[in-house]
Structure 1
Amino acid sequence: MLNAILADDEPIIIKGLKKLIPWEELGIAIVGEAMTGRGLMEQIELTQPDLVITDISMPDGSGIDVIKEVQRLQLRTKIIFISAYQEFSYAKDALAFGAVDYLVKPIEKRLLLEAVGKAMTLLQEANEDQSSKGKLAVYEQKDKKTQLEELFDRLTQGDIRWEEAQRKLQALNTQFTGPCFSVLYVKLAHVQLQDGRWGEHEKRLLVFAVSNLVDELIQLYGSGLVFRKGENLCVIVNHMHVEDDLQPLVSEMRDKILFYLKIHVTICIGMPAHSLQDIRQSYLSAVETMNYSYFEKDGTILSWSQNERRGGSDQLLADAKQAVIKAVIAKEKQQVQELLGSFFEHAAAGANGRKESAILIVYALLTDLMEEMSAVGIDPQVSSEQRKDWQQRMHQFYCFGDLIAFINARILDILEQVSTAGGSREAQQMKMIKEYIEEHYSENITLESMASQVFMNPYYFSSFFKKHTNENFKQYVTNIRMKNAVRLLLQTDLLVYEIAEQVGYHNPRQFSDMFKKSYGKLPHEYKSQIKG
């Protein structure tokens, strides 16, 4: 009895397939069902079925991805594709990757029986030949180009030993024009791919068209090949010297793709490999460089060599953040916008190509700002649910520019809160501060102790006090003490040292000096002059 798995993202299709032909009479047991590409691959790896009948267009992994996985695992599993799409390109791709057959929905019973029979015949032939040729059966069903693409895919992934790769290259009789290899990593513009006008089918056709155009350009410059890496493309360029400049080729790729296909691509140039054995290092450097595309516009060309010149200063970043916070609390809107530009530059440099780091840095600006607002007596009016929502949205942005726009909007909202938090409330705060000084001037009042009374930090309290009185805090307290000293001097018979203590001075000499500085005479001289 042979084992089979049925897969389609529509349960009704799976149900129909189970009833369409007499599976048990044919000697086939249905051992599994799947509705996603990932689920199908997990079942294949677990049960290693003889036959898989699957829709070529599946969520979370296409049928082509599934057949690639089957071949990577070197399973004898035969695959029959079904699809609602009738384009020849799908059938061509499916058959090129080794599918037994390609059937168009709605499935005809006769065609399904024929395809299953063909698969059973192939399985029987495979069972009759268990020699080493059996391991190469998957490769023998495909053309040389497809085999090379799969081989280079495994080389870049690092899941094939070099000795085995050499044997496969020799079996394919592959010749290269030069000893050096470089990997180009190509990413299609996310915004255009996510446009609602693009369906999954159209996206695949677009990637296929980009792949063909890139392949043609490589052949004009020398030799190489192109293969898929998820939604991106991996381009292998074979060239003569390590120092060869690939910039002209890459620029032409980007420009012609935009001209003919109307889509932006970001291309990253990996470090050159001296031999095919080192090609994984070139691939990894290109992928690492692609991380920096988060901070760039679509259509940018990046090179691995730029990574060595990147990096930022933690101190400059901290200073830039603090400058923004101070400007917001001081209600300097124009200055805030200018300082934010500097902060984002330092944030991008400090993230060092890591999206997560960039998000943490800019989110820290928001949280630190709100903490500072609370410290100066301003309620940020942001709930914990809002903060969580901010974090989730920040992770969804595809590029740093979108993140900047979001943070700018939040900062402007907060700035508006700070601006409207003044008025009558600030007037009430100043009234309370002045009343407190009038009542406690005889005590040791400092800027820090007064700031804590109104729940402000000393820096903000100092600027806040000067804004509302046009004099600094220390001078204001001194003036209050001197006015009360004059009152006691003229209306009582207290001695100078007694008056000094009552207005907050424990040192009579210091009090006399401060009095003379304020009124031009020592206390007893001032009293004699007034009474005389």
Structure 2
Amino acid sequence: MGMEKRISMIVLDDIVTVIDGISLGIPWSDYGIEIVGTALDGEEGLTMAQELQPDIILTDIRMPVMDGLELTRSIIETHPSCKVILLSGFTEFTYAQQAIRLGAFDFISKPFSLEDIVEVVLKAVKEIEIERSKHKRIYEMEARVRESKPLLRQEYFNLLIRHSSSEESAREKWGFLEISMRREGFIIMVVEIDRFSKSTQALPISEIELTRFALQNILEETIAAYTEGVVFRESMNRLVVIYNSTGLMDPGMLAEICCNHCAQFSRYTVSIGISLEISLISEIHHGYQQAVSALSYNFYTGGNGVFRYGDFEQMGQHMRTYSLDQEKELLFALRSGNQELALGVLQQIYENCAKLEPLPQPQHLIMMYDELVFIIFRVLEEKLHADELNGLKADIEDNKKKNRISLSELQKSLEQLCLKGCDLQDKYRTTEAERVIHKAIKYVNSHLHLDLSVNECAKLVHLSSSYFSNLFKKVTGQTFLQFVTNERIDRAKQMLMKGHQVQEVAAQIGYEDRRYFSEIFKKNTGLTPSEFKQSYQK
């Protein structure tokens, strides 16, 4: 970049003595500032500024021909990095504030001293130096991008992590490419930039490239502080680190340091999978596979973590994180459009998953969730028209297309499927016939303690008993008596789970005879009320 350029400034005022006092009465060169011009009116000042493009303009707010406000607007439009400092009287305070909103850097209230002027100008100088430093860093970083490692080396390492090679030919290749690492004892890390594709969708290619280079540079400097190593790109959101193992630093600890540095010095976090120690160059591809396998466990955390191969025991593929009863309860909730119940069952399934020891391989859990999505969709197919299912199908396909998905994202997509499915059913029930039946259902649910009958509910909705019965079965898929019995049994279950006594439950749902209630309950659930209550409380 060469020697630092001096700060240039012009002074504008309609009084010559003021200009002379400011430009000649202060030793500006001592502060690294050069007065490159002065002017007595705003129009002349604007012409001078456009010609000289000074870093700072010091101007009176009240100027002939063109005032400080118009001058500020024109300067900021054509030269936005210029720092405009206004000299204003007490009565011009509102005027000065308007100029600040237009982009002026600061203002100095009259009467002022030369020290006041120096203080504000030096504030502007500091801001300019910060901006120059930022531009310099960007320039240097872009230069380093242009001078990055040769393409041959990048291609070689990408081949090395995927294919086997004889030790002899690998060593010859290392010599030819002048790779400085020792030729035995390696650790491989696969580093994935968390949510990179999503967060960079709207960014220009140049900024994406700069981000990837910056992260690569952070990893290179971190590794270099402890051992010899190389960092290269494997894909858009992944880098691979190969370094010589060292007794001075545990691989997991070094990976944690890399994670912390990436988070500290960039706005991205990373997840890192670590291999076991690999003895030979020809075995590096095995280490890469180990690191990728370890990295897959960031499925559970969503990112910003370190995962070591061998830390996770293997669980059999044929496992299930939910019971058949939970599946039935979930499907019942979906068929009835009960969002709260559906989400509650899903939460129980999530809790079961969190208790699994050891953690299952992510792919096995993804397959299990896919199976659950399939079951849910089959139920929704029973309740909804084909055109109403298209949006749900699109959501499912979008999730399948994602290269990597975290457990929380998977759970969220499952919840969204249930919620949307229930919402669509609510819309589906908007016909007049359905509204009539749901009115009757609402009455039934709030009067389960009474001796409910078809005639009573038919009168409530102003229909004949026979028509009401047919319509009820068409909408609910059950006869009126079956529905009332099922609702009573469901209400009984809820009350028993909350600790209510069997006699109290029977009375609350319309059964005066406890023995008859127990018979009906067992016929529907396979358990007596007491047995059900005990099984839940275990």
TM-score (norm 1): 0.50
TM-score (norm 2): 0.49
